[in-house]
Structures are given as C-alpha cells and as structure tokens.
Structure 1
Amino acid sequence: MASIYGEFCLLFLFSFVSVNVLTAATQFDFSTLTLTSLKLLGDAHFSNASVRLTRDIGVPNSGAGKVLYSNPIKFRRPGTQSPASFSTFFSFFVTNLNPSSIGGGLAFVISPDDEFIGDSGGYLGITNGKGPQNGVVAVEYDTLMDVEFNDINGNHVGLDLNSMDSTRVCDLTKIGIDLKGGDPVNSWVDYTGSTRLINVYVSYSNLKPKEPVISYTFDLNEYIVNDFMFVGFSGSTQGSTEIHTVVSWSFTSSFDENPGSPPPTASFMNPTAYAATPPPPLNAPEAGNSSNSTYGEAKHRRTCRNQLCKDGPGAVAGVVTAGAFFLVFCAFALIWAYNKKFKRGEKSETLALDVIKMPKEFSYKELRLATKGFDSNRSIGQGAFGTVYKGILPDTGDIVAVKRCSHSGQGTAEFLSELSIIGTLRHRNLVRLQGWCHEKGEILLVYDMMCNGSLDKALFESRMILSWPHRRKILHGVASALAYLHQECENQVIHRDIKSSNIMLDEGFNARLGDFGLARQIEHDKSPDATVAAGTMGYLAPEYLLTGRATEKTDVFSYGAVVLEVASGRRPIEKEVTGVGKVGMSSNLVEWVWSLHREGRLMVAVDPRLGNEFDEGEMRRVLLVGLACSHPDPLARPTMRGVVQMLVGEAEVPIVPRTKPTMSFSTSQLLMTLQDSVSDLNGMITISTTSSEDSFVVGGDSHGGLNLV
C-alpha cells in the first residue's frame, strides 16, 4: 500500500509539474519583469511603474519612443512555414497636455530588430519615410488623422503590415472609445497560427468584449523576416505634447500542436478577462524549450491511464484509498486554517464590526511584498497619522497606494475612523478603497493609485501648468464629492480636512477626494459635538478655530479656500515673499482675495501662468463662489449641492458683499461656547502646530483658557 500510495503521490506531483513545464513557448508579464528585461529607445522612459513612450516636450517639437521585451520571441520554427500563435493584453492611456495641438498615437509592434526606431508623427515610431520596410507588423491606436496614410480620422485602430497604410481599420468612435480622453483603454490582440486569423479587441472594461473591432486572416509568415522577432510598443507625437503611457502588459505565445486550437491567453495582468492562469514564474521557459500545455496534459493523462490498467484492480483501489486520504488531509487543513483565522478574528472583533463591509482583507505578507518591505523609496506621501507607499500587488500586478498606520494610539484611532467611514462610501470623486489589513499590530489601507498625484503637487511642483479646463473639472468633482458626503449619505460625513494635498488626480485629471482620517459621521439634522479639532492653517473656518465644532459649513469654508487656491495658483498661507505682486510671508490667501474684491480688482487674483487661456465669465463666477464659501458667517455660506449648481450655471452665485463681513461673538456667547468645548474636551483648548503644513490639533489639559502655541 505504501508503495502504491508513493507512486500515486509521484503521479499527483508530476501532474502539477507537467503543467508548469509544458507551458507556452514564451510567456511574460509586465509586473514580473526586471529593468533589464525591457529595452527603451528614443523618448521612452519609466514613470511611476509604467512606461511612457513619449515625453512632455514643448510645441512644435515632435518625438518618438519604443519599448521592447529584450529577449527575441520565436515566431517561426526553423525550416518550416508554421507561424506561432500569440496573445497579448495591455492597458494604456493617452494624455494630451495641450488640447489645441494634434497628436500622434501608439502601436503594439512586432519588429525584426531591437535597435531601430522609426520617425515621429504619423509614422508612430514604427517605420520611417524611406519606403516600405519588411518584417514590421503592428496594431496602431492612432490619434492623428494623416492624409498621407489614408487615415479615416484621429481616433481609430488599424492593422499595419509592412506599411503605415492600414490593411484593416476601425473607427473607435463607433464603440464609444476616445483614445485622447485620458481614460485607461484595454486591448487584446490574438493570433492563431493554424487558422492565420488575428482578432483585435478594445474596451474601457476589464472584461474582454465578445466581438473584435478587427478580424482579419493573413499569413504572419509572409510578413516576418526572421524566425525570432521582438515585441513591444512604439509611440510618437507631431508638434504636440501628447504622452502615451503603457500601464500593464502580458504576452504569451506557442506553436499549435492541435490545428484549430485557440491562441494562448495572456491574462496575467487582467484576471477578470479569462479563466484563471496564474502569473508565470520569473524563470519562464524560453522559446524552443517546451511544447503546448494542452498537448502535455493529454499525454500525461494517457500515461496515467495506461499505468493504472497495467497494475490492475489493486492499483485502482490503492489510488482510490490514497485519494480519499488526500481529501481527508485537505479537510483537516481547511479546518485548521479556518480556526486560525477565527481566533485571529476574535482578537480584532471590534475592528471586524467596523470593516465587515470592506471590499477585501489583504494579508500583511502580501502588502509587505507589494511595497518591498515598506521601502522608503516607495513612499509617495506623508500624512499626520501615517505614510502612503506605492505598491504592486504580486498576484495581479495592479499598482496601488498602501497607507500604513503610524505607531501610536491616536494614529490607530484615526485609521480605524477612516476605515469604518470610507468603506461604506461610493462616489466617482472619492478615492476608492480596495481593502484593508489588520495584522502584527498594524492597520493598512489599500487604495487605487492616482497616477497624477495630488492637486497641490499639480499646481505647485509640476513642470506642466495645469490648464483651466482641468482646474474647472477638478473643482466640480470635489464639490460633487462633498455634496454626496453632506447630503446624500445615510449618515452625514464631515471631512474636516479639505485641502489640495488631500485631493488626488487620476489619469484623466478627475478629482478624487481622499484621507478620511479626521472625518466624522453625524446623523442628519443632529448637532455635532465639540471634538478634538484638527486641520491645516489657511483652510479652517474661524468658528471652528474658536469652538472646535465641525459642521458641513466648516467643510464649505475649506472648499472655498481650495477654490481660491486653484484659481489663483497660490497657497492658502504663503510662507515667504517670492517676488513683486506675490502674497507676502504669513499672508492669508482668502483675506487677499477679499481685499481685491473690495477694490474692484477681483480678476487680479487669477493665476498669471494661465495667460488668456480661460473664459473670463467662468473665472469670475468661480472666484465669487470661492468668496461665498469663505464667508465669515457660516449661515451665509451655500450648501455644497448649491455650489455644484452654481459651477455648472444652474444657479446664480449669491451676492458677495464688497467688504468682507466681520464675524462677531458676544462675550456671553463666546464664554458659553468655550465652556461647552472645555467641558467636552476636559480641559483647555490648545492649538499647536504638528507638521510643516501648519496643521494643528485642538486638545485639552487641566489649566483652562485658550492658548495659541
């Protein structure tokens, strides 16, 4: 029995080894590649765990770039005319930094060498103007209508065979795809060697469409010049500042053992697109060293069946017994794992109640691997209660932002607050929480990565001047998010920390409000309690400074400061004199704009870097909305729902007085308010700076009084 069981275990083990050994001829995934696995040519460069094919160069300059997998891929067996089957999946987006300029485009390419880069403009870095070039097959995603190449428009996908005149083309406008929209676009390219059929699919969704946008039969062997070719991407601009970014890519190829079988699937970067195929090992077999996996599995099954027949009924009984033993073993393993998880859950029962609605629980090991051990080089942000790291999830290759709780009781409390609040929120202008982890005494939150960073960095640190259309869209997005938090949630949410550094920007420069560490939930129509007040100087409402009571109107004031910051291109508190006409040291932006309004010179506040690239009527409306939100009297401030209507022109901006009103408290009112706050906080209200951003916390001790430290 032991011998038979041992043979069964070997057969069982071999069945798994064979699947790994007999994989596709070539197989790789963007997330597992090292820097030496990719070759960059021309303007191509790495950026935020992605590859940008073109650079931010000024008009009217043009450029081209190419990235290739550094190892050649076998596309034809030596001495035969049998082409390989291949499948590739990739995700990309196009950012047009100057909407008035024309673009270029990008392409998935199969090239005979890894040194050549084509011309810019309509050549997409694929070929040049010297005439047809053999050995180049490409699927182009063209954002430029080039009459020379008979392009149908500036938003199409085409199949290029040794020429920039596309053999087959599809107008992507017909399926609702805008290549220059700034949104991620997914594409699948499948070629079956036995049938000579290529299918190209394009979608915004992660799910592969049922119908291809291009389906064409051609013999790949007639267009490739070598048995081994290189694969990758190329892109170009033509007198523009268009940037083409490849954010994910997987590729697999094989030679068909069974004619008519579908091409291998490349699904490692897109697990929802196909049936499960795990990420390949780093030492994936190279071309020529393996055969088709389906064939290998069939051969192995025949071997197992013949061996069992040879050994007779006894062997069959042994296998059945061993199989039953294996199932029992699996059952015990599952019970052990469940008990371990259950015991761990008992230790964090309170947390589990808060996060029961969370999307996913990650393991600490998984997030540690994703951030390379929370490497300081991967830090992308530092908040009052934690650090944010860029992470790449090992299972999917998805790029995420991992927020790690600071090691203090207060930090843990704030993270628990953020976790319990944002886990129940769903809005297109809120940063999406993917999941959480509570292990080893730490709390980690996993968010979508926002590739364009925070609003304050886009305004003050980027070489690119944030255009007025982008700024207007950002302000509208934040207003929509706040209207949702204040008036559309089951329980009203007061954010308490609205500022430009907490507003993130996605690929299309859409605003996503984040950092709910200071947020509080309040039942509608209930008065908020005095709390430990916290925030950032320059964004804080005057009544909040005095009372510590956060309401939706304190968020409105903070939003008004953000509006003026975005319109003027100046920080709420300027810390130093930067030149003539600039806000001086310790000057308050809100006060400065009010003074300009009093003098009838409101448009002087406009960011001079915008030049004349804005609508004056829109700008004046936005500045008045900012002042209305910054009114000293909280009752005079509009609701965020009203702000949304004002920004889109559905409601008039309330009359903003030329002279800034003063906020006054009677002595008795102020004393009563402070007594309530002191009673709630068990001590004196103290305001002290806690970070370089002049953030502060209002706290208490036993001495009484109001101090500014």
Structure 2
Amino acid sequence: MSQRIRSVIFTTVLHLYLCFSNFLITSAVTEFDFGTLTLSSLKLLGDAHLNNGSVRLTRDLAVPNSGAGRVLYSKPVRFKQPSTPFPASFSTFFTFSVSNLNPSSIGGGLAFIISPDDEVVGDAGGFLGLQSLDDPGSGSGSSFVAVEFDTLMDVEFKDINSNHVGLDLNSMVSSQVGDLGAADIDLKSGDLVNCWIEFGGSSRVFNISVSYSNLKPRDPLLSFPLDLDQFVNDFMYVGFSGSTQGSTETHSVDWWSFSSSFDSILSTGSAAPPPPTTTLMNPTANSVKSPPPSLPPTGSASASSTSTTQKNSKSSCHNQLCKQGPGAVAGVVTAGAFVLALFAGVFVWVYNKKIRHVKKSESSFASDVIKMPKEFSYRELKAATKCFNANRVIGHGAFGIVYKGILSETGDIVAVKRCSHSSQGKNEFLSELSIIGTLRHRNLVRLQGWCHEKGEILLVYDLMPNGSLDKALFEARMPLPWPHRRKILLGVASALAYLHQECENQVIHRDVKASNIMLDEGFNARLGDFGLARQIEHDKSPDATAAAGTMGYLAPEYLLTGRATEKTDVFSYGAVVLEVASGRRPIEKEVSGVGKTAACSNLVEWVWSLHRDERLLTAADPRLEAQFDEAEMRKVLLVGLACSQPDPNVRPTMRAVVQMLVGEAEVPIVPKTKPTATFSTSHLLLSLQDSVSDCNGMITISTSSSENSFNGLGVDHIV
C-alpha cells in the first residue's frame, strides 16, 4: 500500500474519531437556566412550589411550621463517563432569598444539591431536607453532595453559627464551612443573595462565591480540593433543598443557571452565565420567570434618543415663541419671573418656619439626653435597617419595635429600637433614653447612640448574637446547659444589684423577664428594655402608677398598690430564677382532659407546693437529664422561692442574692408553706373582692372589705 493511500486512510479514521469523540462530549453537555425552563423541566417534591415565577422550597404560612421541599432539574446530568479519567466540570449561578414573617422564630435553611435520587425528601429542621433522622448512614436519601446555607445553629451538626455556608458530603456535618458574616452576608435579611459554585473536573478544585452584587467576587469565600468522583454516580440530579423548624421562614430561588461538560472549558473556572438583562417578550403560562430588566446606562442609545427628542421639543417651542414677536417673549418672561419669585418667597417662609420648629423640638430633646454616647442620623439608621424592613424585625420591646441593622460605615451589626408613634410610646422612650444613657455595667445591654429626626426616636444598641433567654430556653433545639443557666442568673442578679444600690439614683426596672434578658456571644446575660423603668432618689418612696408588666412576673403588692420598688424587681427576678431552673414559663396553659377548657398553671405556686411536699428537686428541668449538681440546683430553687415571698419585706436584696449565688452568704430559711401577705385597703390603689382573669385576659378587682389576704393571682399583661 502506497504511502499516499495510508495517509488518506489515517486522515479519514482520525476525522471519524474526532467527530465521534465530539459527539460523545456534546451529548454529555448539560446547560439550562430559568429563562428556558418550563414546569415540565422541573420536579417539585415535598413542600416545594412555584410562587409568582420563583421556586419556593418551603410553605408560605403565617403560623410556625416544620417542613421540607426539593426542586430538581427533571433530567439526570452525566457526571462520569468511561472515556474520561475525571468527573464532569460544572458551574452554577443562582439567586435566592430567605425571609420570615416572624424573624424571632427558629429558621432552617436551603442547599444546592447533587443527588442520585429524584423521589426522596429528607427531614425538616437542621436536616434541610437532605437526610432522614432514622436513616442517617445509608439509603438513597443519605447519598448527596450539597452546599448548604444554614440559618439555624445546630450543635448536633457542629454548626459554627446560624449564618454560614458549608459543604455536606453524605453527612449533615459540613466538611468545609465559611462564615457568611465575614462576607457581609446576612441570610435572614430577606435580601437577594447571589451564589456561584464551580468545580473543575481536571483540576479538582471546588469554589464557592457569595455576594449581594451580580458581579462575582474576585476571591471565592471557599476554595478547596475535592475528589468529587468519590461522591457521584454516572448520572445525578441537580437542584435545591430547603426546610423549616417550627418557623415561618420561606426559601425562594429566583434565578438559576447551570452548565456542565467533560471538555476543558469549565476546568478553567469560568462561571455559569448570570441572568440576562432582558425579560422574555412572550412568556408562557408555565415558564419560570426571568429576572427583572436592568436600567439602561446613561450613554445608551435609549438615553441618546430621549435627549435628541427633548432637544427637538425645546427647539420647536422656541420657534413658536419667536413667531409671536418680542412682545410675547417679554410677557412670558415677566410672568414667569413673577410666578417664580412668588413661589420662592412662599417656599422660604414655609422652610424657615419648619426649620425653626424642628430645631426647637430637637434642641429641647437634646437637652434631656445630653449624656448620650452618640447621635446617629436618621438616614444612616434607615439604610442600616433596609428602610425598617419587616424582615429585619428581631423583637418587640416596651412601646417599640427592635430591628437588626448593619451600619454602612463600620459594618457593625446593631439592634435599632424604634419608638411607637403614640405620645405614651414617646414618653416611655424618653424615659428609657434618659436612664440607660447614664448606666454602665457589664450585664446591661450597651447603648451605642440615639437619633431624633423626622418625628422619630431611635435607640441603637449592641446586637446580642444569641438572642434572648426566652428563646434559648424554649425555642432552641438543644437544651441550655446548666452552667450557662447558672452564669446567666448571676449576671442578671449583678445587673439588678447595680441598678438598685450602686447607681447615683436608684433605677427600678419594672419589667424583668426572660425575653428582656439578652445573651452575648459567650452566653453572658445582658439586661435590656428600660421602657418601663423608673429612676428615683435613694430612700425616697415611689409614686403610685398604673401597674405595668407581664403575667407571672408581677409582685402581688405592686399589682394592688401600683407602687414599684426594688422589691418588686426582686419578685420578678425570683420568677426568672424558677423559670430558668425548671424550664417552664411563669404562666402556662394546661388542659386536664379531652374537651375540657385550659387552666392557668402558676410556676411560683407549683414550686412552693413541691417545696411543701419535700420534692423540690422535682422542679428541675427534665431536659437537663440530671446533668447538674443537686446541691447547686437546690440552692438556686431556694433563692427563687426566697425572692418570690408574698411579703416584700422578707425578700432579700439583690446584693444579698449575688452573695448567695457565689457562696458568700447562706440562703435564708424558706418556710415549707407559702406565707400569706396581708394588705390594708388604705394602701391599695385597687380594691379586692374577686379576680376575673384568664391566661389571655386583663385582671379586674374590686372590694368593700377593710382588710384582705393575698395569696397570689394569675394575671396577664397589665398596662
């Protein structure tokens, strides 16, 4: 065979081989985005559903719910093939948001997932719909590769916080993890978050980038080597999974593009294309929405066309006036100048009047709070809270709403308390501001500053990352350990001792309760919310006012006389002590049988009854599983009862309570039977004949007798 013929045959075979190889590679390419997907291209599992063109992974409910859902691309994606020694390269870009009707409720999270199964949905809560509790180590439901965006700190899965991204490989314990706070990303803000995930099949490098901007960050948040072929089959499904844990959190995927290939293009780290800047002209009824169009840049053809039209319009008007002669032009100019001068005069008068009023108001306000740390601008705090977005609400204090804020200048995360617009709310905020601005103690929430503009009064505090004691006791997945509880009780006692006996003027808090005790990063207690506080000179009798507070925490004499003293705070602290030790709320509903109405159970009364029966340790929180020192638990419960004495004169001072808790003083003898306090009607603000109350109602009292015994009333919120 001649050399020429051999050359032709070789060239033909090579050409056929290359064509065939190209066919194999092309057939292994997958590429799609939300602009081309329809309902038939997506598989919705569990709670997943479409909502206004976006994909919701969890249900839209106004009441707390626990559930999970998945959305998957309906066709499997090839991740391995015999002709290549490495797995497929892939790149995906998606935009998502996490919102919550009640931000104080426990969250869940969502994850980008690669799974061999398109039928199974895992459990809710911390499992993110990825894995089942009763099948943690095997089965199709347990095999997955996922990039999680977690809004729930789960100690069981070794989560670093409630705002992180992690790589999960067949396990809910992330093998790689990154703090989203370091990238200034707050998952619970409700804002749209963009994510880029890239994997190079030949380089075996896995990159995760996150940003609020459509521009991918230059450096990824996480970058690490990964042998992906150990965790994927030949074909896998790609999509998203999400879950809630007794919350109203929703997880929405607003845009998604995905591309995979066995060629070398994606190995270089190129990203999947971001969403286009134009929407579909004629979207079908079952198509997933495209992202909103971008505004045209200043130098665009559209802007140029508008400018030309405006110029032509002006030129036409000018020509029409010129045709009328110079007299017409002079008349128009004179009339215009007169109108302009008149308008300017009115504007200057109104502006000066308003400025004088505002300056007078703000000057008067500033004279009341001259000791404040810093004055913030309204514009700064409005931007920090995303225009006081409902998704940023983290609590409700006395006469105000508390928002989470991120200060643009420093990046500090703060709590911004916004005054209610009622005159009462304003007075309470002024009281809080004037009191707390002068206080300095390690166990008080620190006030960073204030703002009084546009009729608004705003207070800026340090944000406590572990939320309130109430949530730590009753909403956390894992029970609060006993050492933490003991440290918290000591911290609150120290704060109250400072307020009662160490300040220049005595401060009566009047609203000591678990939801007003905040926890910092080390679970140290910080007492906050001074909206109901009163400041009086030492050794002076307080004035009688309307009783204010929350059921279960109110001292009996305060409820009847309206006079708040340091001993009313001691009673409230005693209720908190029993609440922390027992894991029960001060007032709880109990149903004794089917079809029977609920009754109120009073925690203080219940612990007194256990003490009478010599079963005091029975009150200890069963969730602690006896992981505490019995002598310490008994001492804490006795301190709680000592503070809960009906007679205020028998209750210890908060300084004495601190000494008891640290072992410097003995707990006073607490009688086995709860004493009965006696009050004279001459000292009563309210009179007593009978009480009408339930767990959700106001209390009404009246009397005609001259002397009455009080043995404890179950009351609700009194204002």
TM-score by length of 2: 0.51
User: 1:85 maps to which residue?
Assistant: none
Q: State yes or no: 1:590 paired with 2:590.
A: no
- Which residue of 2 is the match for residue 625 of structure 1? 639
Per-residue deviation, residues 117-166 of structure 1 (Å, max 9, x unmatched) = 6687795469xxxxx9865899xxxxxxxxxxxxxxxxxxxx999699xx
Residue in structure 2 matched with residue 547 of structure 1 by the alignment: 561
| Aligned equivalent of 2:538, options 521, 524, 538 | 524
In the alignment, what sits opposite 2:82? none
CA distance in 2, matches of 1:361, 1:686: 51
Q: Secondary structure at the match of 1:636?
A: coil
Q: Secondary structure, in 3 states, of the residue corresponding to 2:631?
A: helix
Q: Specify the code of the residue in structure 2 equivalent to 1:607.
A: D
1:453 to 467, 474, 479: 467
1:513 counterpart = 2:519: no
More displaced stretch, 431-440 vs 488-497: 431-440
SS in 2 for 1:634: coil
Aligned length: 444
C-alpha distance after superposition, 1:170-221 (max 9, x if no partner): xxxxxxxxxxxxxxxxxxxxxxxxxxxxxxxxxxxxxxxxxxxxxxxxxxxx
Alignment check: 8 A CA contact 1:572 1:588 kept: yes
Equivalent of residue 97 in structure 1, options 149, 155, 169: 155
> Are 1:504 and 2:522 matched, yes or no?
no
- AA aligned opposite 2:641: L
Q: Which residue of 2 aligns with 1:537?
A: 551
Establish whether residue 473 from structure 1 lines up as the match of residue 487 from structure 2.
yes
Contact 2:108 2:151 in 1 (8 A): no
Please give the residue correspondences for 1:553-568 in structure 2 after superposition, counting only pairs within 5 Å: 553-568=567-582
The aligned counterpart of 1:359 is 373
Task: Assess, with a 3 A threshold, how the Cα gap between structure 1 residues 343 and 122 changes in structure 2: closer, same or farther.
Answer: closer
Q: Per the alignment, do residues 370 and 696 of structure 1 end up closer, same or farther by CA in structure 2, a change over 3 Å counting?
A: farther
Amino acid at match of 1:376: A
- Residue of structure 1 equivalent to 2:364: 350
1:636 aligns with 2:650: yes
Residues 82-93 of structure 1 mapped to structure 2, 5 A cutoff: none
Q: Distance in 2 between matches of 1:105 and 1:350?
A: 44
The residue type equivalent to 2:669 in the other structure is: I
For 1:517, the aligned partner's letter is G
Contact 2:147/2:167 (<8 A) preserved:
no
Percent identity over the alignment? 63
The offset of 1:338, in angstroms, is 14
Q: Please name the residue that 1:145 is paired with.
A: none
Q: Tell me the CA shift for residue 482 of structure 1.
A: 0.8
- For residue 602 of structure 1, what is the amino acid of its counterpart? L
Does the CA contact (< 8 Å) of 1:537 and 1:573 recur in 2?
yes
**For residue 641 of structure 1, what is the amino acid of its counterpart?**
R
Q: How do 1:45-444 residues align onto structure 2 when only pairs under 5 Å count?
A: 56=126, 97=155, 124=176, 226=268, 344-444=358-458
Matching residue's letter, 2:438: T
Distance 1:533 1:463 in 2: 35
Deviation string for 1:297-326 (max 9, x for gaps)? xxxxxxxxxxxxxxxxxxxxxxxxxxxxxx
5+ unaligned residues in a row in structure 1: which ranges?
Answer: 1-34, 69-91, 110-114, 127-131, 139-158, 165-224, 231-281, 284-336, 679-683, 700-706
Equivalence for 2:476: 462
Residue identity matched to 1:469: P
Q: What secondary structure, in the 3-state scheme, does the structure 1 residue paired with 2:591 have?
A: coil
Offset, 1:381: 2.2
The CA RMSD over aligned residues, in Å, is: 5.3
Would the alpha carbon gap of residues 591 and 347 (structure 1) be closer, same or farther in structure 2, given more than 3 Å must change?
A: same
Counterpart residue type for residue 97 of structure 1: V
CA distance in 2, matches of 1:505, 1:64: 35
SS at match of 2:599: coil
Q: Which runs of 5+ in 2 are unaligned?
A: 1-54, 56-90, 112-124, 128-132, 138-143, 179-201, 209-221, 228-266, 273-293, 296-350, 703-712
* Cα-to-partner distance string for 1:486-520 (whole Å, 9 max, x where unaligned): 12211111000111121122233222211101101
Measured in 1, the distance between the counterparts of 2:464 and 2:690 equals: 33
Structure 1 counterpart of 2:600, one-letter code: S
| Structure number, greater radius of gyration | 2
CA distance in 2, matches of 1:414, 1:544: 19
Distance 1:38 1:655, change over 3 A: farther
Q: Is the 8 A contact 1:40 1:65 kept in 2?
A: no
Runs of 4+ aligned structure 1 residues displaced above 3 Å come to 37-41, 44-68, 92-98, 101-106, 115-126, 132-138, 159-164, 225-230, 337-345, 394-397, 684-699
Give the direction of change, closer, same or farther, for the CA distance of 1:591–1:451 in structure 2 (3 Å limit): same
Task: Report if aligned partners of 2:109, 2:151 keep a CA contact under 8 Å in 1.
Answer: no
For each residue in 1:351-407, what CA deviation from the matched residue of structure 2 results, as whole angstroms up to 9, or x when unmatched?
212222212222222222332332333322234412222223333333322222222
Which whole-Å CA distance do the structure 2 matches of 1:635 and 1:364 have between them? Answer: 47
What SS does the aligned partner of 1:479 have?
helix
The one-character-per-residue Cα deviations of 1:1-21 (angstroms, maximum 9, x if unpaired) are xxxxxxxxxxxxxxxxxxxxx
Q: Do the aligned partners of residues 122 and 594 (structure 1) sit closer, same or farther apart at CA in structure 2, a change above 3 Å counting? A: closer
1:557 offset after TM fit, Å? 0.4
Shift of 1:450: 2.3
Maintained 8 Å contact 1:455/1:505: yes
1:122–1:504 CA distance, 2 compared to 1 (3 A) = closer
State the alpha-carbon separation in 2 of the partners of residues 516 and 366 from structure 1.
24
TM-score, length-normalised on structure 1?
0.52
2:590 alignment partner, SS class: coil
Give the conservation status (yes or no) of the 8 Å contact 1:537–1:693: no
2: distance between equivalents of 1:38 and 1:510?
42
Aligned match of 1:660 = 674
Query: 1:422, 1:413 → 2: CA distance?
Result: 14
Whole-Å Cα distance in 2 between the matches of residues 478 and 690 of structure 1?
A: 30
In structure 2, relative to structure 1, the CA distance for the partners of 1:380 and 1:95 (3 Å cut) is closer
Cα deviation digits, residues 601-653 of structure 1 (max 9, x gap): 11121222222222211111111010000011112111111111212222211
2-structure distance, mates of 1:410, 1:548: 18
| Amino acid paired to 1:569 | G
Once residues 229 and 553 of structure 1 are traced to their aligned partners in structure 2, the CA distance between those partners, rounded to angstroms, is 65
Q: Look up the equivalent residue of 1:411 and give its one-letter code.
A: G
* Contact persistence 2:467–2:519 (CA under 8 A): yes
Kindly provide the amino acid, as one letter, of the partner of residue 359 in structure 1.
Answer: P
